[in-house]
């Protein structure tokens, strides 16, 4: 099968690697987003997909708008590809592009459709505390993730898994599922299933305000926000910005898999401090060797990893020791 691959971030790399390694596929070109300037030197940095494509000597096309770039459209039309494969490309394809390949355009989406259609399905599934997610392959249409479903692969979400870890898991699932899907399409054995749009939910682009922590929320809701929008959630501490990178709710449900000494540290000798009624956002206790425990609107939350403004990420224990943190100090302010 002749394939043109559309993709940009690290999430798409395993899928491209899988197609390149499989004897039944011939990846003839890659379409990816334009290079972006990053770092102190403001240098142009290629996308992870472009870097892999160049390693394999593949033609790489980087239109600013794939729908409007005449040269790219001509190349796509002339490719006579059997299929276009799209994994986290970052641009919407026009109907004219969708109609070009013989077998259509196949997308691997990071959710169990029709739930979490949109740009950030992995992040929002964690934010909402979903117990499972997966990859859905579908035949693309002109809508936003509304095409007929081809295959679904599900995985459980562990209580402490963050967005980066979940994306890594799902990227590998995507690589395997895409190959199965494309082989079935080529053999004529695929059975597309229409989505039930009445069950659809949406995963929009994440906004700056989504990163702000409101300590009046429950410990579990805050934990899901921190891991869903990893590593960017923030509050304030002593008037300065503070990133909250990893947390653990003081609920045994979230302790499975933690070392026994860590589990013990989450409760040992803290009962008196945790039984005091405090304003949300207040440091309620300091667990020795682990870090600060914060009062929330419902329950308590351990700050497992943080990042002070202008500093490197550090453990919650180092934060508590280095700042000489005191019980009763306040993080941010609860909204409302």
Q: Which tokens is 104 given?
A: 């259509």
Give the pLDDT confidence of 161-208 residue by residue, as tens digits. 999 999 999 999 999 999 999 999 999 999 999 999 999 999 999 999
DSSP 180: H
DSSP-derived 3-state class of residue 139: strand
Q: Please name which of 259, 188, 258, 251 lies closest in space to residue 223, comparing C-alpha atoms.
A: 251
How many Å apart are CA 299 and CA 45, to the nearest integer?
44
At which residue do the structure tokens 């708008």 appear? 65
Q: What does the block give as tokens for 56?
A: 């394999």
Q: Give the model confidence (pLDDT) of 221-263 as tens digits.
A: 999 999 999 999 999 999 999 999 999 999 888 887 788 888 8
Q: What does pLDDT average to over the chain?
A: 95
Indicate the SS3 state at residue 323: coil
Over residues 256-298, the pLDDT tens digits come to 778 888 888 887 878 888 888 899 999 999 998 999 999 999 9
Indicate the burial class of 57 (C-beta count within 10 angstroms; 0-12, 13-18, 19 or more). Answer: exposed
**All domains in the chain, ordered by first residue:** 2-199 (3.40.50.170), 208-322 (3.10.25.10)
For range 303-328, the mean pLDDT: 96
CA atoms of 273 and 267, how far apart (whole Å): 11
């Amino acid at each position: 099968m002749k394939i043109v691959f559309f993709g940009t971030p690290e999430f798409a790399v395993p899928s491209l690697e899988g197609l390149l390694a499989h004897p039944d596929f011939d990846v003839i070109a890659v379409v990816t987003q334009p290079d972006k300037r990053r770092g102190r030197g403001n240098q142009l940095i290629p996308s992870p997909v472009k870097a892999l494509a160049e390693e394999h000597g593949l033609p790489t096309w980087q239109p600013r708008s794939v729908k409007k770039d005449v040269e790219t459209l001509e190349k796509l039309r002339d490719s006579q590809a059997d299929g276009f494969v799209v994994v986290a490309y970052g641009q919407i394809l026009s109907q004219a592009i969708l109609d070009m390949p013989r077998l259509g355009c196949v997308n691997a989406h990071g959710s169990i459709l029709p739930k979490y259609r949109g740009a950030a399905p992995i992040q929002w599934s964690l934010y909402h505390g979903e117990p499972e997610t997966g990859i859905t392959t579908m035949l693309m249409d002109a809508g936003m993730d509304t095409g007929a479903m081809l295959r679904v692969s599900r995985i459980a979400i562990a209580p402490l898994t963050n967005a980066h870890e979940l994306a890594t898991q799902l990227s590998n699932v995507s690589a395997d599922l895409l190959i199965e899907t494309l082989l079935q399409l080529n053999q004529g054995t695929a059975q597309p299933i229409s989505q039930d749009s009445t069950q659809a939910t949406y995963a929009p682009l994440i906004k700056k305000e989504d990163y702000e922590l409101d300590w009046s929320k429950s410990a579990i809701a805050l934990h899901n926000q921190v891991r869903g929008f990893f590593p960017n959630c923030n509050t304030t501490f002593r008037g300065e910005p503070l990133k909250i990178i990893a947390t653990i709710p003081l609920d045994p449900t979230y302790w499975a898999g933690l070392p026994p000494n860590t589990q013990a540290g989450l409760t040992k000798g803290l009962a008196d401090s945790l039984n005091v009624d405090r304003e949300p956002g207040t440091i309620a206790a300091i667990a020795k060797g682990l870090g600060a425990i914060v009062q929330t609107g419902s329950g308590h939350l351990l700050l497992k990893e943080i990042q002070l403004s202008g500093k490197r990420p550090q453990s919650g224990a180092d934060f508590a020791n280095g700042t000489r943190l005191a019980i009763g100090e306040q993080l941010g302010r609860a909204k409302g």
